[in-house]
DNA sequence: ATCAAATTAAAACGTAAGTTTGAAACGCTT
DNA sequence: AAGCGTTTCAAACTTACGTTTTAATTTGAT
């Protein structure tokens, strides 16, 4: 028996996710999407209402579970340990990202790249909808890191978290600044596990480094 | 006497730089550009040939001097010191970025954001033209970091440089992952000098952290 | 002042975009 | 099998895009 063909809406979501990552939102046309999804052009507007609403659907399908996974890991860790290590905190974020990256059924590494693109493109969706729904994400991690690194002031901690999530995020998204300048794809030919092997120590070292006098 | 109005080509470049950053290449139309630059629609194609060529001009106007500044700092440092510290190496990259960020006449922080967008959008320009012209950039930094951190294997060093440039780059571009989830703009309300105060220690700590047994 | 080159201007061209429409096909309950 | 809401389909609509064209204007050297 063959794998049953997903319904129209799902086919549209899957193809859109890939095309939005490859070409960006503006450069991806509904005709490209519907052609590759083998559905009628009007199907997008019928099922989602508009191209903008389609984008939001593509986005939220992956983001909600990812955030939930991170917070679940955080819950579990806080229930298990009294004093949280920075490395274990970092891992609560990295493990769900890693799991997502290795699971083609959930879009694999595609969604992290989409998130990255969307962040840089500064979509209205991010500024409005998501920042309201998931502000708890930052709050939880801020509290946890504050307990793990009590010697850091709030400003310094905010910066270090900013840097830490920035580098983790771009690592999973495969955004290699240096590949701009060189053809070698050594780093970008990414085995997700390899990323973590080098990523965690780097991030932890930056987070725990002693404050300057 | 009033400031003389720049010539048409310059006005187009200035407006394009801002609009490409704000809306991206695809979402920026020649009509938006020429309208805000107060020039005729046909001026873009007359002076630059095409929208693609305009983008390349916008991009190279800033990139070439920035790269040159970094390499000049590197030259100067290598001529002055025998053994290079990681921090001084990091600074050869950060100082030109900082100078650029603080100089509105050269586009200020705009160009770093444009570079960031272009990287994520994976433009043909980056894959082809620039990687050939500026591969020396990566080579120089790779050699310098290898001398400063001889105990690191080539693979581990490549990853750490990848992470280091990633976080520096995103810091200057103002790409704050966490701002997705929270309205507070504490981190993003960026005084460039503040960035450096916290950025350098973070990056250096990650780069020099001991290799794991 | 003149003339050739460079630049600006207005208008139109062909194409592709997102969206809408109305009919046909389908699936399910009765 | 009939009827009805849901979904699919082909086609057309409006709009905006990048680009080209042709003429008007400005510029600069003789």
**pLDDT per position as a tens digit, A31-56:** 999 999 999 999 999 999 999 999 99
Q: Which two tokens mark A117?
A: 């693109």
Residue at token pair 């960031």: B116
pLDDT at residue A16 in the model: 97
Q: Which fold has domain A1-49?
A: Arc Repressor Mutant, subunit A (1.10.10)
Query: Per-residue pLDDT averaged across A172-191, rounded?
Result: 70
Q: Report if CB A140 to strand D is under 7 Å.
A: no
Instruction: Inspect the interface and report whether the beta carbons of B175 and A120 lie closer than 8 Å.
Output: yes
Give yes or no for a contact between B49 and B112, defined as CB atoms under 8 angstroms apart: no
Residue B39 contacts strand D, CB under 7 A: no
List the structure tokens of B160. Answer: 């750490």
Q: Can you give the distance from the CA of residue B157 to the C1' of nucleotide C2 in angstroms? A: 69
The predicted pLDDT at position B1 comes to: 41
The domain B65-208: what is its CATH number? Answer: 1.10.357.10
Which residues from the 22-51 window of protein chain A have CB within 7 angstroms of nucleic acid chain D?
39-43, 46-47
Q: How many residues does chain A have?
A: 213
Number of A/B CB contacts below 8 angstroms equals 157
d(CA B53, CA B49): 6
DSSP letter for A39, please: S
Domain ranges of chain B: 1-49, 65-208
Residue B2's pLDDT is 45
Q: Is the pLDDT of residue A189 over 60?
A: no
Q: What integer is the mean pLDDT of A173-202? A: 77
In chain A, the largest separation of any two C-alpha atoms, in whole Å, equals 68
Residues 6+ apart with CB under 8 A from B25: B55, B117, B118, B121, B123
| pLDDT single digits (tens) B4-26 | 788 999 999 999 999 999 999 99
Nearest alpha carbon to residue B96 among B129, B78, B72: B72
- In 3D space, the residue among B166, B134, B138, B145 whose CA is nearest the CA of residue B78 turns out to be B145
pLDDT at res. A129: 83
In eight-state DSSP terms, residue B153 is: -
Of A111-125, A156-170, B147-161, the poorest mean pLDDT is in A111-125
DSSP state of A151: T
A81 in Cβ contact with A137 (< 8 Å): no
Q: What angle do CA A118, A119, A123 make, to 5 degrees?
A: 60
Give the nearest partner residue to B120 out of A116, A178, A186, using CB atoms.
Answer: A116
User: Measured between beta carbons, which residues in chain B are less than 8 angstroms from residue A137?
Assistant: 181
Is there a contact between A182 and B156 if contact means CB atoms under 8 Å apart? no
Asked if the model's pLDDT at residue B191 lies above 80, the reply is no
Among A112-121, A160-169, B189-198, where is mean pLDDT lowest? Answer: B189-198
| Chain B nearest CA to A5, separation (Å) | 31
Model confidence at B190: pLDDT above 80? no
Pick the CATH number of A63-208 from 2.20.28.10, 3.40.630.30, 1.10.357.10, 1.10.3720.10: 1.10.357.10
Say if the Cβ atoms of B120 and A175 lie within 8 Å. Answer: yes
Confidence of residue A190 (pLDDT cuts 50, 70, 90): low
d(CA B142, CA B134): 13
Across the range B167-187, mean pLDDT stands at 77
| pLDDT, mean over chain A | 90
């Amino acid at each position: 028996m063959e794998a049953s063909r997903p319904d129209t809406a799902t086919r549209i979501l899957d193809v859109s996710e890939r095309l939005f990552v490859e070409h960006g939102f503006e450069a991806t046309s509904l005709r490209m999407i519907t052609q590759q999804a083998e559905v009628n052009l009007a199907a997008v507007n019928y099922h989602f209402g508009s191209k903008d609403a389609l984008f939001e659907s593509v986005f939220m399908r992956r983001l909600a579970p990812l955030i939930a996974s991170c917070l679940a890991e955080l819950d579990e860790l806080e229930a298990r340990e009294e004093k949280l290590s920075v490395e274990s905190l970092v891992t609560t974020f990295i493990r769900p990202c890693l799991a997502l990256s290795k699971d083609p059924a959930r879009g694999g590494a595609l969604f992290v790249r989409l998130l990255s693109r969307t962040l840089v493109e500064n979509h209205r969706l991010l500024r409005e909808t998501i920042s309201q729904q998931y502000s708890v994400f930052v709050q939880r991690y801020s509290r946890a890191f504050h307990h793990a690194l009590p010697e850091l002031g709030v400003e310094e901690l905010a910066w270090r978290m900013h840097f830490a999530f920035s580098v983790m995020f771009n690592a999973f998204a495969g955004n290699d600044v240096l590949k701009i300048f060189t053809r070698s794809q050594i780093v970008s030919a990414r085995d997700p596990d390899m990323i973590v092997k080098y990523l965690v120590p780097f991030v932890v070292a930056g987070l725990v480094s002693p404050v300057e006098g």
